[in-house]
Structure 1
Amino acid sequence: MARSELEKRKATPAAAFRVSPQEEPSAEWGWHGGFPRATLGGGVLVGLSMFGMLIGNHSGWTENLWLIGTGLFLLAGVGWLVHKRRTSWRG
């Protein structure tokens, strides 16, 4: 137990998830990981919102093409991540 506020508590992470503080400085002071489900959900949400922005007062097709292209690119990226996760054990 720490005797003062300035002392740090010793971290005891699982052996499989150890990260060297020299390689990743944030491992020393906090959680070190990612948000896989939030990444996929955010990608789908933003990709679909691109198609929602097609409704509006556009005067030309340039804006529509950029919105469609960006939405398809994001949804394709999410699909690739899902495929990569499902087939990662196969090598």
Structure 2
Amino acid sequence: MTPVSEHSGRGQGQQTSARVVEQSEREEGIVRAGETPITHESPEDWGWHGEAGKAGRIGGWFMVVVLLAFLVGNHDGQVENLWIIGFAAYLVGLLIWDARRRKNAWRSR
């Protein structure tokens, strides 16, 4: 019978020079001798700051206007209108919540 893996010694409990290191809160990593463990990068290191800022808020209000413009159309039923109004109201609620959060925050963005 042929082995599943062609790598010799893999998963057979043989002694290696690797050691287990703590990576972050719940992770562990195995590091070979002579190597350094990989450190986690923070999102700010590669450009993500977590918020879209003023452009995102302007885009949100623009989308509310676009959604409400969908109410004017050639559809017969009212179910579409209920969904459109619901999505627009949800978006308005998010934008108002964001404005209140920024107003009450230690540092407004």
Q: CA deviation at 1:42?
A: 1.1
Q: Which runs of 5+ in 2 are unaligned?
A: 1-38
> Which structure has the highest strand share of the two?
2
| 1:22 aligns with one of 40, 43, 55 | 40
1:21-49 deviation digits (Å, cap 9, x = unpaired): 6143672xx32323211111111110111
Q: Distance in 2 between matches of 1:42 and 1:23?
A: 29
> Once the two structures are aligned, what percentage of the paired residues are identical?
30
| RMSD after superposition | 1.9
Higher relative contact order (CA 8 A, sep 6+): 1
Structure-to-structure mapping, 1:1-91, within 5 angstroms: 22-24=40-42, 27=45, 30-33=46-49, 34-89=51-106
Give the gaps of 5 or more residues in structure 1: 1-20
- TM-score, structure 2 normalization: 0.55
Q: State the TM-score, normalized to the length of structure 1.
A: 0.64
Name the one with the larger helix percent.
1
The runs of at least 4 consecutive aligned structure 1 residues that moved more than 6 Å come to none
